[in-house]
Amino acid sequence: MTELSGNPGFAPPRTEMARSKRRALELTATLTLTVCLVVAATAVSMGNRLLTRSEVLQHAAVLPAKSVPPAVE
């Protein structure tokens, strides 16, 4: 008699190769997402730091007005 594979209907039997490929794909996707999140968090924190510094510099420092040389006619 034919040996049953345990898959109902017309589903093909899963091979170990398909499982390892899927596992590798999931690992790659997870690592890529982790790297993207770290890059995004770094960019946001650097942007916040720059905004905070520029606001402090604008309020704390008064820049002298530029002197314009008199027009020669």
Q: What is the pLDDT of residues 4-57, one digit of tens each?
A: 666 666 766 667 777 888 899 999 999 999 999 999 999 988 888 877 776 655
Give the separation between CA 56 and CA 62, rounded to whole angstroms: 11
This prediction has a pTM of 0.50
pLDDT at 16: 72
Res 60: pLDDT: 54
Whether 56 and 48 have beta carbons less than 8 Å apart is answered as no
Q: Is the pLDDT of residue 59 over 60?
A: no
